[in-house]
Amino acid sequence: PIFNADSSLREWVGVHTDITEQKIAAQKIRESESYFRRLTDTVPAIIWITEPDGSCSYLNKLWYDFTGQTKEQALGFGWLEAIHPKDREQAGEIFISANSSQKPFSNLSRFRNSGGEYRWAVDFGSPKFDANGVFEGMIGTVMDAHEEKLAEEKLAYRTALLEAHNQAGVDGIMLVDAKGKIISYNQRFIEIWNMPQHILADQDDDAALTFAMSQLLHPQLFIDKVRYLYENPTETSHDHLEFMDGKWVERNGYPVIGEDGTNYAWSWTFRDITKQKLFEKEIRDSEERFRLLAQTLPQLIWVTDELGNAEFSSIRWKEYSGLEPSGEAEWKAIIHPEDYNLINSAWIHSLTTGNIFKSEVRLKNKEDEYRWHSVNGEPVFDKGNKIIKWVGAFTDINEQKLNDERKDEFVSIASHEMKTPLTTAKAYLQMLEFTLDESNGEAILFTKKAIESVDRLTELASELLDVSKIRLGKLQYNLATFNFNDLIHDTVESIQLTTPIHRIIKSGEVRDPVFGDKHRLQQVVINLLTNAIKYSPDADVVFIDFKQEGDTIQVSVKDAGIGIAQSSLDKIFDKYHRIEDHAVHFQGLGIGLFISFEIIQRHKGKLWATSEAGKGSTFYFLLPINNSSSQ
């Protein structure tokens, strides 16, 4: 307005200015701001802006979506609340120091999402300056790095694991890339190969191979295999390397192949197997020795596994029978039909109990002739005491058997033939005794002595006859119920009369009557007592003890005599067996214990001995009270 002097309005003056440019610029700014906002809200990253004092003035939508924070909560320094308590302090410090030094920064920390879960993310920030270079604050982004961080952790873990595994293993390990360049190796690898450190430090592959070859007995085979594998990268390899110094090493090669089929590397492992090789050789040698021995022995040798399946039979089998005893059919063809069941059940018994296998059988030879063989088989145990094999041999005892038979036959005939003249002699002696009167004092004594001797002879003859009867299974038993105390008492009394030096000390009692052959059992007690006296010439006592325990009677006869060596203990019950040392000084036939054994066995009892050479022996037998023998 333009005024008059009296201040009244005189006229208006106006100017029109073209502001189109300004209007467009403002419009552009608005558009650009909205564009920026849209942009920041759509990029898959969190964007933030802070003032020069560090307080946050802007966060894009993604921040609010992700954290669930409101503007009021987040702006300023509230955003720090969304960081994991353990990472918060560090995140704050890094930001503040970057802000005050006006430098870019990056920092990894865990951010809490709206669901309360934490995710790893990286916060990147840069300083912002205006056109005049004045610091305006910072601008930055937060980017999710959760999967990467986990993968990184996993990778670090796996690398550590692999490394520990490499070093801890007993195997030497080496990794080479597809071109043969050494990538890594462990300590054990160096030890096994004695590889000089400088070769490995230089990763000099050719030098390493050359050095390896110089160590080996067959370097060509070694290098051929290496070359072959590099040309055939999908194959694995397994071989044994023999070193010049006698060492053996097992080598395994595996290609490291990626999912896409690329061969990235080769993993080689080396294991010292020298000990194992030595063992193997020892076993081979010992097996070889065994085989050689088995083939040269005259016996028919066999080996089976723990279940009794044939594993080996010596060449003598074939020579003897024309067959190899590999299965039941062959066995049936070789063994005499009458002996088959016996030996078979003995074998099965041994297989199930682990007891020594022992029997006598007739085996057919190529000429279809049966010859007697004894068989002895023993289990072989492993370290854990488990049976792993059976080894045994058949020995030809045909001559021996025939001799025994002839001997038995002779003994049987001789003893039989002796009976009549002995009976006659005794009859005449008894008549002579009657005809003598008191005036012939000496003659009566002589006659009595002669009768005693004839009685002893008759006893001997009948014992001999018993032996042949046992062989034919014809020993007679007269079973009845009797008083066992009486038996012991009577026997001790009569034996005591025959020995001027030894005192027989008797102890014990049996409650119940016994069912059995009193006469035969008496024969056993007589035998044990006379042996105890005979084989203890320097002693003056012999003990007999008897007792009842439940349904069983146990009798023991103990002497302080010459004793029996451990190795002979199980043989003394054999027919005609006499211990050689004893036989020189003591008379006998070696049949008493054989007959006693048979008698006790027939009563379903048990007879055995314990002894120590030079100290004395104790013979025991057990007898069931109401035995059901031969009924």
Q: Which two tokens stand for residue 214?
A: 């110089």
Q: What minimum distance in Å lies between the beta carbon of 384 and ligand ADP?
A: 39
Q: Which has the closest alpha carbon to 125: 46, 68, 28?
A: 46
Q: Pick from 585, 587, 609: which is nearest to 597 by CA?
A: 609
The single residue listed with the structure tokens 């650009």 is: 32
Answer yes or no: are the C-beta atoms of 389 and 311 closer than 8 Å. yes
What's the min distance (Å) between Cβ of 492 and ligand ADP? Answer: 16
Q: Which bin fits 613, alpha (ψ -120 to 50), beta or left (φ > 0)?
A: beta
Cβ distance 159 to 183 under 8 Å?
Answer: no
Chain-centre distance of CA 528, in angstroms?
A: 48
**In the complex, minimum distance from the CB of residue 613 to ligand ADP, in angstroms, rounded to a whole number:** 9
Q: How far is the CB of 522 from ligand ADP (least distance, A)?
A: 15
Sheet containing strand 56-59, strands side by side: 56-59, 46-50, 135-144, 118-129, 105-112
Write out the two tokens for 56: 């946050």
Cβ-based nearer residue to ligand ADP, 270 or 573: 573
Rounded least distance, CB 616 to ligand ADP, Å: 7
How many Å apart are CA 593 and CA 597, to the nearest integer? 6
Shortest separation between residue 397's beta carbon and ligand ADP, angstroms: 21
Nearer to ligand ADP, 532 or 625 (CB): 532
Nearer to ligand ADP, 62 or 532 (CB): 532
488 or 572: whose CB is closer to ligand ADP?
A: 572
Shortest spacing between CB 533 and ligand ADP, in angstroms: 8
State which residue, 140 or 592, has the beta carbon closest to ligand ADP: 592
Ramachandran angles phi, psi of 362, nearest 5°: -100, 130
Interface with ligand ADP (CB under 6 A): 527, 531-532, 535, 559, 561-564, 572, 577-579, 582, 588-594, 617
**How many other CB atoms are there within 10 angstroms of residue 416's CB atom?**
13
Q: What separation in angstroms does the CA of 546 have from each of 80, 384, 485, 499, 593? A: 101, 42, 9, 21, 19
> Which lies closer to ligand ADP via its Cβ, residue 454 or residue 562?
562
Q: How far is the CB of 386 from ligand ADP (least distance, A)?
A: 37
Nearer to ligand ADP, 59 or 467 (CB): 467
CB of 460 to ligand ADP, least distance (A): 10
Of the candidates 175, 361, 193, 345, the residue with the CA atom closest to the CA atom of residue 268:
175
User: Shortest Cβ distance from residue 382 to ligand ADP (Å)?
Assistant: 38
| Closer CB to ligand ADP, 398 or 568, in the complex | 568
For 9: left if phi > 0, alpha if psi spans -120 to 50, otherwise beta; the answer is beta
Q: Which is nearer to ligand ADP, 331 or 594 (CB)?
A: 594
Q: Specify the pairing of strand 172-177 against strand 135-144.
A: unpaired
249 or 591: whose CB is closer to ligand ADP? 591
Q: How far apart are CA 77 and CA 413, in angstroms?
A: 129
Distance of alpha carbon 308 from alpha carbon 390, whole angstroms? 7
CB atoms inside a 10 Å sphere around CB 192: 23
Q: Tell me the H-state helices in 436-517.
A: 441-472, 484-498
Question: How far apart are CB 556 and ligand ADP at their closest, in Å?
Answer: 12
- Residue 98 or 562: the one with the smaller Cβ distance to ligand ADP is 562
Q: Residue 425: in which H helix or E strand, if any?
A: helix 398-435
Report which of 585, 572, 581, 587 is spatially closest to residue 619, judged by C-alpha positions: 572
User: Quick one: 247 or 582, whose CB is closer to ligand ADP?
Assistant: 582
Dihedrals φ, ψ of 129, to 5°?
Answer: -125, 150
Q: Where are the beta strands (DSSP E) in 186-321?
A: 237-242, 248-257, 263-272, 300-305, 310-313
Q: How far is the CB of 558 from ligand ADP (least distance, A)?
A: 9
Q: Tokens 């214990």 correspond to what residue?
A: 593
Q: Are 361 and 280 in contact (CB under 8 A)?
A: no
Least distance to ligand ADP, CB of residue 614, Å: 10
Write the CB contacts of 75 (distance below 8 Å, at least 6 apart in sequence). Answer: 55, 56, 57, 58, 59
Given the complex with ligand ADP, which of 176 and 572 has the nearer CB atom?
572
CA atoms 66, 70, 74, 76: torsion sign: positive
Nearer CB in complex with ligand ADP: 172/563 = 563
- Residue number with the shortest CB distance to ligand ADP? 588
When the beta carbons of 176 and 524 are compared against ligand ADP, the nearer one is 524
- In whole angstroms, the minimum distance from the beta carbon of 284 to ligand ADP comes to 46
Torsion of CA 587, 592, 593, 598, to 10 degrees: 160
The answer to whether the beta carbons of residues 75 and 55 sit under 8 Å apart is yes
Give the nearest distance from C-beta 555 to ligand ADP in angstroms: 14
Unique residue bearing structure tokens 């023991």:
556
